[in-house]
Amino acid sequence: MKAKSCILALLLFVGLSQNIAQAKEGLTVESFTFTPNEVEVYSANTKIEIELVVSHPSGIDNFSTIASLTNSKGDTLSTFLNRIDSPINQSQIKVTFRGSIVIPSNITAGVYNLTSSGVKNNSSAGYQFETGIIEAKKIRALIGAESGLLVKSSGSLNISYETIVGPAYDLTKISKFSDYKKVSSLPAPILKVGESIKLDNYFELKVPTLVLRATTESPSVCTLNNLSLNFISQGVCSIKLYTNQDLNYEKFQISQVLEIKAARTKPILVINKIENTTASNLPRLITLTTVYSSVSGFVVPKSESPNVCATSGTSVRITSGGTCSISYQTEESIDYLASDKYIITFEVTRDPQTISFAPVSTADIATKNLTLTASASSGAVITYLSSTTENCSISGSTLNLLKAGNCVVTASQAGTSILAPVSVSATILLTGAVVTPKPVVTKKTIICAKGKTTKKVSGTNPKCPKGYKLKK
């Protein structure tokens, strides 16, 4: 008995669970269609056939529902959709509703979206759900008319659609942009004389097949160059952004009124002179006089010669001799332009050094080469350079003697971070002449003919005797 009781209880539990699961299941809209989906206003009255298919495991409660075609201006055509099962069985899982709407020839052109007032499932399961308003699914890619009935007037659709959204600097408009995160990061436009903004950055065209256009109604305050809006004087700048009417869309327009204020100005900086210094005890830190701007506060200096000096805060770290250049410039803001770039320089004087270089004053080119010898007071490496390469050339410290004449040689030491570069030049007179070898004389032989008689003639430039011709 206990086993039978357990089995019975289990079956009841399973059945109850199935009923609860079934009752909690929402209604499914299998399809919601209409045909035809395009009509011409001035054609004979056209009948639009509408079909709605809805399902639920417990069946459908409704005997009928209302279908409506509504345009953007609120014009509506409605009809009843009646279920087609006969006799009506409210336990039937899938139910089809059908009806039709006749489109009058005087209807306003545009897009009419199809909706149904919805249906309920059979309450026999103890629960009842309602679909709410049912909308037709997307049937085409035409923006603003993806799912509706197209009612055309002589081929024109006249869709009343918000083809432009913006501006991005109006926070109430941000959510309408396709990529609102991108436009929300755009800087606010600077509405001052001398500034300009690109309107296509701040307004989005919602229909790519259209062209975003703009016009100014106050050209003395603001002018347009394509979609670049330029502010030329103080006052109120009134503009209109629009897309023209085409076969599908009505003309759409947005008006904007902007107050243009006085131009931004450049801050003027006062920079103190920095005294020259020496390259001793490097690296070395020097504290600079603070530069202050009434617009942006303290101005941080930047090094323009990092091989000589580097800045850190209001100090400069000198690492080598040479010219140290430091720049000051404020950044632009919504109220002020960036200042001019102020550059101040000072010399980091390197220790001097000397070169001892005294080559021979005369040399015979027959010797072919000489070894150059020079020394720097610092003991650093010397390099050599010829400035008369047609007479002499240099390979390392070897001077190659090529042709008689003056040979000018420069001995140099490039310097270091603390030593100044130095160079010394000397002129060596090259004498002697280059022996030119005698040219090799090449002889050739030709054959000359006179009738049947032939004769060979040899020489550097042989010619046939009189009466003979060169035999070919």
Q: What is the pLDDT of residues 116-134, one digit of tens each?
A: 999 999 998 789 999 999 9
* Residue 237 CB-density burial (10 A; 0-12 exposed, 13-18 middle, 19+ buried): buried
What rounded mean pLDDT belongs to the chain? 91
pLDDT in tens, 190-240: 999 999 999 999 999 999 999 999 999 999 999 999 999 999 999 999 999
**For residue 435, what pLDDT is reported?**
52
- Check whether 22 has a pLDDT greater than 50: no
Average pLDDT value for residue range 71-100? 95
Residues 412, 265: Cα–Cα separation, whole Å: 51
**Confidence class for position 106, pLDDT limits 50, 70, 90:** confident
Answer yes or no: is pLDDT of 398 > 50.
yes
Q: Which domains does the chain have, with CATH numbers?
A: 24-152 (2.60.40.10), 164-260 (2.60.40), 277-349 (2.60.40), 355-431 (2.60.40.1080), 442-472 (no CATH)
- Nearest-angstrom CA–CA distance, 282 and 309: 11
Percent of the chain with pLDDT strictly greater than 90: 76
pLDDT at 438: 63
User: Mind listing the pLDDT tens digit for each residue in 428-461?
Assistant: 999 987 555 566 677 888 888 888 888 888 888 8
pLDDT given for residue 462 in this prediction: 87
Query: Could you tell me which residue, 384 or 24, shows the higher pLDDT?
Result: 384
Rounded-to-integer distance, Cα 81 and Cα 79, Å: 7
- Determine the average pLDDT of the residues in 53-74: 95
Classify residue 458 by burial, with Cβ atoms within 10 Å: 0-12, 13-18, 19+.
exposed
**Mean pLDDT, rounded, for 397-423:** 95
CB 291, CB 301: distance < 8 Å: yes
β 110-116/149-152 pair status: antiparallel
- Do 346 and 318 contact (CB within 8 A), yes or no? no
pLDDT for 300 beyond 60:
yes
C-alpha to C-alpha distance for 30 and 114, rounded to whole angstroms:
16
| pLDDT at residue number 251 | 96
Q: Which residues on adjacent β-strands are paired with residue 7?
A: none
List beta partners, residue 152: 40
Which of 77-81, 168-172, 365-369 is the least confident region?
168-172
Residue with tokens 């509703």: 97
pLDDT for the residue numbered 437: 57
For residues 325 and 321, what is the distance between their CA atoms, to the nearest angstrom? Answer: 12
Q: Which of 39-48, 154-163, 359-368 has the lowest mean pLDDT?
A: 39-48
Q: What is the pLDDT confidence band of residue 23, given thresholds at 50, 70 and 90? A: very low
pLDDT level of residue 105 (50, 70, 90 thresholds): confident
Per-residue confidence at 296, pLDDT binned at 50, 70, 90? confident
pLDDT at residue 383 is higher than 70: yes
Q: Mean of the pLDDT values across residues 43-62? A: 92
Q: What is the mean pLDDT of residues 142-151?
A: 94
pLDDT tier at 21, thresholds 50, 70, 90: very low
Q: Would the pLDDT of 20 be above 50?
A: no
pLDDT at 194: 96
- pLDDT at residue 2 above 70? no
262 pLDDT more than 70: yes
Q: Does the pLDDT of residue 471 top 50, yes or no?
A: yes
- Tokens 């040899």, residue? 458
pLDDT for residue 180 is more than 90: no
Distance CA 382, CA 375 (A): 7
Q: Work out the percent of the chain whose per-residue pLDDT is above 70.
A: 93
Residue 446 confidence (pLDDT): 85
Q: What is the pLDDT of residue 440?
A: 67
User: Per-residue pLDDT for 355 more than 70?
Assistant: yes
In the predicted model, is pLDDT for residue 304 greater than 60?
yes
